Structure 1
Amino acid sequence: MRYTIVDAFTSSKFGGNPAAVCVLEQSYNDELLQALAAEFNLSETAYLSKRAEGEWDLRWFTPLREVNLCGHATLASAHALWSQGLENSDNIRFHSRSGCLLVSRNDGRICMDFPRTKTLEQPHVSEAVKNAVAGFVSVADAGEDILVELPNAEAVAGFVPDFAALAAIPVRGVIITAAGDDCDIVSRFFAPRFGINEDPVTGSAHCALADYWARRLGKAEFSARQLSPRGGELSVALRDQRVLLFGQAVTTMAGEVLAIPHR
C-alpha cells in the first residue's frame, strides 16, 4: 500500500496540518486501518477507494478512532489524487459518513463544500467547561464539538490547555475562538478524547465557526487563521446550509506500507 503525507491549509511545506493519505486497491478490515492510523500518529489518516471517474469513498481515522468528518484530510486527499495523476476531473465527489462532499480545484486553490454545523449558545455552562476554559465570553453547542468564545485573539493565542480538563468535556473537540486582529476570526481546536491534543488546522471546525460568526459579525465570508504552533489559513464562505472552505496543500513525503498481511 502506497501512502502520501500532505500538509493541508498551507502553501509551505511543514506548515498547516499534515495528513496521511492511502489509496486502497483492495478492502482491509477496520482493525488494520486503525492500526495504520495509530502508526502514522497524525491527527488524521484518510483512506480512499475509487468508485468511478470523479467518485471516491473516503474515510478518516485519528490515532484512536474513526471520525464522521475531517476537513484537512479531505483537502489532502484531493491534492494527493490530483498531484499523482490518479484523478483527472476538476471536481471530485467523496462519499463519506457525512454524505457526499464535493471538492473542486481552480487557480491553485482547492474548494471543499461541507455541511453547515448549527451552533446554539448555552445559557448554563457546565462545570467541566468552566474548569477547562476560563474567562470565556460565551459557550455554544457545535454539533459533535463545543465552541468557546474568548475576549480577543491574544487570549486565544495565549491559551494554555489543560488536556485532562479538556478531555473531561463529553464532546469530540473543543473549539476556542475570537474575532481576529488582521483576519476575521481566529481559533484553536483540542480533541484529547480522540487522541489529538491540539489539531494544527481543523477544516470541520470552521463549519461551526462560520455559523457562529455569521451572527456575531453579520457577514457570510471570512478570512480565518488557526493559531496552533504550526498555524494555518483558510477562507470560509457560508452558503445557506453549506460551508465552502478554500485552501492549499503541499506534498511532503511518500512511501510504502510494508506491514500489510498477504491475501
Structure 2
Amino acid sequence: MIKIHKVSAFAVQKNGGNPAGVVFDADNLTEQQMKKIAAEVGYSETAFVSQSQLADFKVRFFTPTSEVDLCGHATIAVFNLLRDLKKINTNEIYTQQTKAGILQIKIKEKEVLMEQTKPKYLDIIRPSDMRGCFHNLDYLENMPIQIMSTGLADLILPVKSLKTLYNLKPNFDKIKELSKKLNIVGIHAFTLESLHNSNAHARNFAPLYGINEEAATGTSNGALACYLQKYYSPSLKSYVMEQGYTMDRPSEIKVKLKTGNNNHFKVYVGGGIKRI
C-alpha cells in the first residue's frame, strides 16, 4: 500500500500554507502511477522521493495534470518531513536530484532552505500583451512586467496596491493562452504593500497546470526576490513574502540571496510545515 503524507508548507497558522502530497520510496512507481496518484491527491503538487546515484535523494514533482521540473513548497514539505521522521539530520546540507538540476537543501531545526537555480531575467512583456488576463489590472508602471526563472519560468507582475492585488479578477482561459504562448508556468502578481511588514504580498495563477491560484509558491517567490533586488532593493539579501491570504491560507515564504566572487549567485527559499 502506498502511503501519502499530506502537509502544508510555508504555513503561518494551522490552516495556512500550501498543501503538498509526499510519497517516499517511490523507486518502483511508473510515471503513469505518479500522475494518477497526484491527480487523486488533488493538491497543486505531489512529490515522489526515490534513491539517486547523483544526489542524496531524487525528487519528481507532479501537478494534478502533469510533471514540472521543480516545486518549492513540495521540496519544503519533503525535507521537513525527512527531518521530522529522523531520516536526515538537523544542521546538515543534503542534495536533491530534480529535472531542474541537483540542488542543495539546508536543514534547520524548524525549517529548511532549498537552493534554486541561478536567476534568469528573460523577456519583458508589454501590458498590452496581457490584455484580457485580468478584468481590472492596475500595474505598477515604473517596474517591468518580466519573465523570471529560478527553476521555473513565471511572469512577474507588479501591481500598485494591496487593494488592487486583492481585487484582481483573473480570466483563467486567457492566462492559459498567455502561458502557452510565453512558455511560462503562470503569473506571479505582487505588490510592495504588505499586511505584516513583509517585502511583498503576492498571488500566483497557474491554470495551465491545473492550479487556478496557489497559496504559497517557492520557486516564484525566489524569482520575485531576485527581481526586487534588481529593480527595487539592490543591497537587500533577505526577503519575506506573503501569499495565500485571499485563499484564507496565510503563508510566509523566506528568501535568501547570496553573492560572492566571480558572479557567484545563490538563491535559497525557506519555510516550515504543518501536518494536515
How far the C-alpha of 1:251 sits from its partner, in A, is: 1.8
Q: Deviation per CA, 1:204-240, whole angstroms, max 9, x where unpaired?
A: 0012101110121232221211144112002211123
The equivalent residue for 2:98 is 96
Q: CA RMSD in A?
A: 2.0
Of 142, 145, 149, 2:154 maps to 145
Matches of 2:98 and 2:125 in 1, distance apart? 34
Deviations 1:113-172 (A, max 9, x none): 212332346263453x12213222231112422111101222112222221221121221
- Of 216, 241, 248 in structure 2, the residue corresponding to residue 201 of structure 1 is 216
Structure richer in strand, relative to its length: 1
2:193 is the alignment partner of 1:180: yes
Q: 1:123 to 1:202 in 2, by over 3 A?
A: closer
Name the SS for the 1:46 alignment partner. strand
Question: Paired residue for 1:67?
Answer: 68
> What is the aligned partner in structure 2 of residue 17 from structure 1?
18
More off after superposition, 146-155 vs 134-143 = 134-143
CA deviation after TM superposition for structure 1 residue 246, in Å: 2.0
Q: Are the equivalent residues in 2 in contact too, given 1:11–1:249 (CA < 8 A)?
A: no
Task: State the match for 1:135 in structure 2.
Answer: 138
2:223 paired with 1:211: no
TM-score computed with the length of structure 1 as normaliser = 0.88
What is the number of residues matched between the two proteins? Answer: 250
In 1, Cα distance between equivalents of 2:26 and 2:155: 37
For 2:257 and 2:269, the matched residues in 1 are separated by 9
Distance 1:68 1:126, change over 3 A: farther
Alignment of 1:222 with 2:239, yes or no, is yes
Contact 2:203 2:213 in 1 (8 A): yes
Task: Name the CA shift for 1:228/1:74 in 2 (closer, same or farther; >3 Å).
Answer: farther
Equivalent position amino acid for 2:111 in 1: R
Amino acid at match of 2:115: D
2:86 counterpart residue number = 85
Is residue 89–residue 107 contact of structure 2 (8 Å, CA) maintained in 1? no
Higher relative contact order (CA 8 A, sep 6+): 1
Q: 1:26 to 1:212 in 2, by over 3 A?
A: closer
Q: Distance in 1 between matches of 2:131 and 2:211?
A: 21
- Between the aligned partners of 1:201 and 1:18, the Cα distance in structure 2 is 9
- For structure 1, the residue ranges without an aligned partner over 5 or more in a row are 253-263
**Which consecutive unaligned segments of at least 5 residues does structure 2 have?**
260-264
TM-score normalised to the size of structure 2?
Answer: 0.84
- Percent of aligned positions with the same letter in both sequences? 26
Say whether residues 1:245 and 2:269 are aligned partners: yes
Question: What CA distance in whole angstroms lies between the structure 2 residues aligned with 1:123 and 1:75?
Answer: 31
The match for 2:262 is: none
- Match of 1:45, SS state, is strand
Provide the C-alpha distance between the structure 2 equivalents of 1:172 and 1:107, rounded to a whole number of angstroms.
Answer: 32
The answer as to 2:223 corresponding to 1:189 is: no
The residue matched to 1:57 in structure 2 has which SS? strand
CA contact (8 A) 2:80 2:111 kept: no
